Amino acid sequence: MLGFGGGGRGGYARPGTTAVPDGVGKVVGVRVLAAMSGGVDSAVAAARAAEAGHDVTGVHLALARNPQTYRTGARGCCTLEDSRDARRAADVLGIPFYVWDMAERFQADVVDDFVAEYAAGRTPNPCLRCNEKIKFAAVLDRAVALGFDAVVTGHHARLGADGLLRRSVDLAKDQSYVLGVLTREQLSRSMFPLGDSTKTQVRAEATRRGLAVADKPDSHDICFVADGDTRGFLAQRLGAAPGDVVDGDTGEVVGRHTGAYAYTVGQRRGLHLDRPAPDGRPRYVLSITPKTNTVTVGPAEALAVSQVQARRPVWIGGPRPADPVECEVQLRAHGDVVPATVAVTGDGLRAELHQPVRGVAAGQAIVAYRPDPAGDIVLGSATIAA
Amino acid sequence: MAYLDHAATTPMLDVALEAYVATAREVGNASALHGAGRQARRRVEESRERVAAALGARPAEVIFTGGGTESDNLAVKGIFWARRSADRRRTRVVSSAVEHHAVLDAVDWLAAQEEAEVSWLPVDALGRVSPQQLRAELAAAADQVAVITTMWASNEVGTVQPVAELAAVAAEHGVPLHTDAIQAVGQVAVDFAASGVSALTVTGHKLGGPAGVGALVLARDVAVTPLLHGGGQERDVRSGTLDTAGIVAFAVALETAVRHQQEYAARVAALRDDLVTRVRQAVPEAVLNGDPDDRLPGNAHFSFPGCAGDALLLLLDAQGIACSTGSACSAGVAQPSHVLLAMGADSARAGSSLRFTLGHTSTPEEVDALIAALPEAVDRARRAGSLSASR
């Protein structure tokens, strides 16, 4: 693996190739493409790759046809300002820098997919989809064809010489969840140099290296939803589709909605209910049924889920398990981690949760981890079906 | 390093650099009335005479500007505004489909903001504008045309236009024709008076002078409305304190480039022909774009089928070879070339293009370096290209 983790920041080895020591124990001469968003993480990741002796080229991905339409300021990763920040970081590092136009692919594989998933009553994670389809697919494939050995990103996760993907040492910033969808093949050509550092350390290092993005705020929310109003973004694309809000217990119509796609399982606010529940307690979205354009609501305890079915599993922590595995699962980004038994079922998997979880939404990923003192190891992932 | 991007900018000539530094050490606003001011003014006026003499114009016809884009904007918008003010029926602009963005976008702006009606003259497969097309256009409604603007030579594919013939057609109808000659001056023979054009754009940094200074050569009988208002410099057409050092260096560079144009063109064209021959040997599928005969001496513009131009550029850049995709960038992303599309290329061919341009510092070793690196770059870019095409 082309990782920085595991054996620490010196242990680089490539599968199937002979490592070339530079005389002081480092392995040099790997050509890597650094995906530079304009943020502090990817800038420091590129810097570390260059310092490790790799031949680094920086690339900023232009994901919007019209960059002004995406988030402005320091919050996104697709604005003209972000592009300039990335370019300036590359200047400081003394590496070549280019902008790659990925707008068409991003629109098709991430934005259109995002809208279609909501229309189908599911809750997609576009960052995860971008990793799966853009950064570690379209970009990685192009990089390899052009002669690069790997893509380096500023994700907070550890990828060791053992090829295992682990959580970052900074659990608050850990991004192993949104990388859990990557295949072993994709990971074998990836580098995550930040996994052994906390965000605070990364920022301090950026300052030390003279990178102007050292204090740039973290990006949040969805980069292509310009004003952060996901519901408005979906309404604009899917149009109004009024339907009933139904009580899960009684089947009674308790309200009207203007589009079922605007709701997410577990959502409490903005339900526009005509009347309070008889018991006066808050109600939550339990499910969305696109076929009947119905949003079903109920009390908090009805949200609790003890079993999860998922499809399209990817096993990266080892071979596809023949027997049920005791592990921990995470069901959404920054979500709770619960112990579970995960079993393979045909072309999917089933997870028996040892403690119920609320707000499990179809379309999100279930990522299975094996607890480990050196960082919890990602065993695999799948897309939650029900 | 092999620098094969002289059409983007070319190194300053030593004489121009020396003239710049010497002049920049002197104080004096060319508009001031004291001795220092008169000295600066003298340098500007001497430079004006040099530029005029080198371009076959009169000194009074030379308006110094902040470069090519400003000159193009001044000519296109300024002549349009002045002619429409004189006669409200003159609301049309005639231009060609292969102009540089400095003209293209100025014309588009007139259409969007001033309700100008625009006729875009088509080009043939070699990128040539046809005088017959212009004649047909003017025959329809010459009295409504405010200005014609069509370039002398293409910055992308290097095609040299029949400017004198176009100007003759314009003159038959009494319509002023502006030409963007930025790529032409110093490369081919350019004579303002003999060409018959009414206005001509030239800039410093494409001919061995500094960037940020240029001129619009404007016939005395053509009225123009200023873009910049202020102190009334440059016949009240272009206000702004004159950049004395820049103007002096620009004039020296222009004079030198024009004086050596013939021998320069012969030497550079021979080097370019060698480059073209060897690119074709190395990559037999490569297609040379533009007019094979009437073209700028330093320009070689190819399409490499199956490759993305930006991928080729990256790979050659990594080998120390500087070239260009030739088309305009938006936020660092190369857009499909409107020039190649106008010449009938599909977007795949337009996107597979690379421009190599030679200049006064070019050497055979630079061509050797390109030929050494090109086959592998094309091979890799093609692999990357087939990848994106298959998805």
The domain boundary residue, chosen from A269, A302, A335: A302
In chain B, which residues have their Cβ closer than 8 Å to the Cβ of A141?
A: 384, 387
Count other Cβ atoms within 10 Å, centred on residue B18: 13
Asked if the structure places residue A200 within a domain, the reply is yes
Chain B residue numbers touching A96 (CB-CB < 8 A) = 314, 317-318
What is the chain B residue with the closest CA to A133?
B391
CA atoms of A367 and B191, how far apart (whole Å): 73
Chain A residues in contact with B333 by the CB 8 A cut-off are: 62, 99-101
Mean of the pLDDT values across residues A139-148? 96
How close A101 comes to chain B (CA, Å)? 6
Among residues A78, A127, A223, A327, which one is catalytic?
A223
The pLDDT mean for chain A works out to: 87
Domain count, chain A: 3
| A-interface mutation test, from B333, B335, B382, most A Cβ less than 10 A away | B333
Domain CATH number, residue A48? 3.40.50.620
| Contact assessment for residue A117 and residue A123, using Cβ atoms and an 8 Å cutoff | yes
C-alpha B283: how far from its chain's center?
Answer: 29
Q: Where in chain B is the domain with CATH 3.40.640.10?
A: 14-259
Q: Are residues A183 and A313 in the same domain?
A: no
Q: Is A57 part of the contact surface with chain B (CB cutoff 8 Å)?
A: yes
The radius of gyration of chain A's CA atoms, rounded to the nearest angstrom, is 22
Q: Is A23 exposed, middle or buried (0-12, 13-18, 19+ CB in 10 A)?
A: exposed
| Average pLDDT value for residue range A249-265 | 88
Residue A348 within a domain: yes
Q: What is the per-residue pLDDT across B296-347, written as a single tens digit (0 to 9) for each?
A: 999 999 999 999 999 999 999 999 999 999 777 666 677 789 999 999 999 9
Q: How confident is the model at residue A28 (pLDDT cuts 50, 70, 90)?
A: low
Contact pairs from chain A to chain B, CB under 8 Å = 47
Question: How confident is the model over A334-350, as a mean pLDDT?
Answer: 93
Task: Determine contact: A96 vs chain B, CB below 8 A.
Answer: yes
DSSP string for B271-295 = HHHHHHHHHHHH-TT-EE-S-SSSB
Q: Does A327 participate in catalysis according to the annotation?
A: no
CB neighbours of residue A68 within 10 Å: 10
Annotated active-site residue B323? The verdict is no
Q: Which residues on chain B place their C-beta less than 8 Å from a C-beta of chain A?
A: 310-311, 314-315, 317-318, 331-334, 380-381, 383-384, 387-388, 391
Q: pLDDT tens digits for B56-71?
A: 999 999 999 999 999 9
Please pick, among A77, A78, A127, A130, the residue that the annotation labels catalytic.
Answer: A130
Facing residue for A145 by CB, picked from B331, B332, B380: B380
Residues of chain B with CATH 3.90.1150.10: 2-9+261-389
Q: Which residues of A touch B310 (CB under 8 A)?
A: 98, 100-101
Considering the domain architecture, whether residues A186 and A249 belong to the same structural domain is answered as no
CB contact under 8 A, B381 and A146: yes
Interchain contact, B331 vs A105, CB within 8 Å: no
Task: Average the pLDDT over A346-350 and give the result.
Answer: 92
- Same structural domain for residues A44 and A193? yes
Q: Which residue has the tokens 């502090």?
A: A40
Question: Are the beta carbons of A146 and B311 separated by less than 8 Å?
Answer: yes
**Closest chain B residue to A95, measured at CA:** B318
From the list A99, A145, A147, which residue is nearest B332 (CB)?
Answer: A99
Do residue A374 and residue A354 come from a single domain? yes
Position A6 in a domain:
no
pLDDT at A269: 81
CB-CB under 8 Å, B387 with A145: yes
Range in A281-290, B5-14, B86-95, B122-131 with the lowest mean pLDDT: A281-290
- What is the per-residue pLDDT for B331? 62
- Binary contact (A60, B381; C-beta < 8 A): no
Minimum CA–CA partner of B334 in chain A: A101
Chain B residues lying within 8 Å of A148, measured CB to CB: none
**Contact assignment for B384 to A146 by CB distance below 8 Å:** yes
On chain B, the residues whose CB falls within 8 A of the CB of A105 are: 391
- The reply to whether residue A146 touches residue B315, judged by beta carbons under 8 angstroms, is yes
A138 and B CB contact within 8 Å? yes
- Quick one: tokens of B326? 């030739």
Q: How confident is the model at residue B182 (pLDDT cuts 50, 70, 90)?
A: very high
Q: Do A99 and B331 touch (CB under 8 A)?
A: yes
CA distance B297 to B184: 10
**pTM, full prediction:** 0.88
Q: Which of B60, B125, B140, B329 is catalytic?
A: B329
Cβ neighbours of A83 in B, within 8 Å? 331-332
Domain hosting residue A284, numbered range: 241-302
Cα A249 from Cα A265, distance rounded (Å): 16
Q: Does A300 have pLDDT greater than 50?
A: yes
CB contact under 8 A, B383 and A138: no
Structure confidence at residue A65 (pLDDT): 67
pLDDT in tens, A72-90: 443 445 577 888 999 999 9
- Phi, psi (rounded to 5 degrees) for A20: -110, 100
For the segment B36-46, the average pLDDT, to the nearest whole number, is: 97
Mark which of A281, A302, A323 sits at the end of a domain: A302
Q: Which pLDDT tens digit goes with each residue over B151-172? A: 999 999 999 999 999 999 999 9
A100 to chain B, any CB pair closer than 8 A? The answer is: yes
| Residue in chain B lying closest to A83 (CA) | B331
Q: Given an 8 Å threshold on Cβ–Cβ distance, is A57 in contact with B318?
A: yes
Q: Is the CATH number 3.40.640.10 carried by domain B14-259?
A: yes
> Which residue in chain B has the smallest CA separation from A58?
B314
Domain co-membership, A37 together with A138: yes
Query: Do B370 and B356 meet the contact criterion of CB atoms below 8 Å apart?
Result: yes
Assign A66 a pLDDT band (cuts: 50, 70, 90). low
Question: Could you give the C-alpha distances from B242 to A174, B58, B66, B268, in angstroms and in order?
Answer: 58, 19, 9, 34
Task: Indicate the pLDDT class of residue A23, thresholds 50, 70 and 90.
Answer: very low
Burial A318-341 (b: 16+ CB within 10 A, else e): eeebeeebebbbbbbeeeebbebe
- How does pLDDT run across A230-242, given as a tens digit for each residue? 888 999 999 988 9
Cβ distance B388 to A100 less than 8 Å, yes or no, reads no
Chain B residue numbers with beta carbons less than 8 Å from the beta carbon of A82 are none
Nearest residue to A383 via CA among A369, A360, A359, A362? A362
A178 CA: distance to closest CA in chain B (Å): 23
Per-residue DSSP letter, B87? -
Question: Which residues in B lie closer than 8 A to residue A98 (C-beta atoms)?
Answer: 310, 314, 332
Length of chain A: 386
Per 3-state DSSP, chain B is made up of helix, strand and coil in percentages (nearest 5) of 45, 15, 40
Q: Looking at CA atoms only, how far is residue A127 from chain B in angstroms?
A: 21
We report the CATH number of the domain holding residue A288 as 2.30.30.280
- A272-276, A320-324, B40-44: least confident range: A272-276
Residue A60's closest chain B neighbor by CA? B332
Of A72-86, B123-137, B371-385, the one with minimum mean pLDDT is: A72-86
- Token pair of A345 as six digits: 């079922």
Whose structure tokens read 């006669």?
Answer: B87
Distance CA A261, CA A259 (A): 5
B116 within 8 A of B80, measured Cβ to Cβ? yes
Of A57, A96, A142, the CB nearest to B388: A142
In this complex, is the C-beta atom of A37 within 8 Å of any C-beta atom belonging to chain B?
A: no
Same domain, A70 and A199: yes
pLDDT confidence of residue A76? 45
Residue A180: name the closest of A356, A327, A18, A29 by CA.
A327
- For residue B320, which residues of chain A lie inside 8 Å, CB to CB? none
- The matching CATH number, chosen from 3.40.30.10, 3.40.50.2020, 3.90.1150.10, 1.10.10.10, for B2-9+261-389 is 3.90.1150.10
Instruction: Output the pLDDT for position B306.
Output: 95
Same domain, A286 and A310: no
Considering the domain architecture, whether residues A136 and A203 belong to the same structural domain is answered as yes
Contact check, Cβ <8 Å, A145/B384: yes
Band (pLDDT 50/70/90 cuts) for residue B260 is: very high
Q: Is residue A58 part of a domain?
A: yes
